[in-house]
Amino acid sequence: MRGTLQIRSARTPYLRGGLNFATREPLQVDIRDLDGARLLELARDPVLSIAMGDEDGSFRPMPAVDQSVGVDQAQMMIDSLAAELPERIVPSTDPVADELSAIAVKLREAGFADLDALLEAFTILFEQHVGDVDALKAAGFDDLEPLLQRHRDIVKELSASQDKVTELTKEVAQLKASAAKPAPKPKTPAAEK
């Protein structure tokens, strides 16, 4: 993964740059968690081998860092790479926000194409939090009735959509079945005489 360093130590236990290498398994470190000085300390340590993550999930060895590279240059390298990376999601301490984030992830994974997942996500949200009026108000939902009505409307729309998909699936199956039947052979004029 781009922006991730995979750092392996030839010795264990080993402590370098604030990282504790308790085993020979590589540590995965987000480059944004390092500063220029720590990156140089790790990169110049002969006991450590560092691989850089690529966008495709593979890792390639980090090029050797020349002794002329200073802390400021290393920090500029970190900053330029960090600018290209997506923003990190900081865990929330708000349970409603956490639930909404989990649902958003589920919806993204479903690609909004899976109606069951969408319906389940809305149902989970409201079953768990409708009774918690204070949490909903803290999340910005002051008037709950329009929100509840919208939920009911969405559930009806999703149910109707599911019914329509089921109906269309049956029609397609029937059309396929009728298309699979052999067509009657046309009569030829010679056969009629």
Model pLDDT for residues 132-154, shown as the tens digit of each residue: 555 556 655 555 566 667 767 77
Global confidence as pTM: 0.45
Beta bridge partners, 49, equal 8
Rounded Cα distance between 107 and 117, Å, is 7
Please say whether the beta carbons of 122 and 154 come within 8 A. yes
pLDDT digits (tens, 9 = 90+) for 75-114: 988 888 888 877 766 555 666 556 655 665 565 565 554 5
Rounded to an integer, what distance in angstroms lies between the CA atom of residue 153 and that of residue 158? Answer: 9
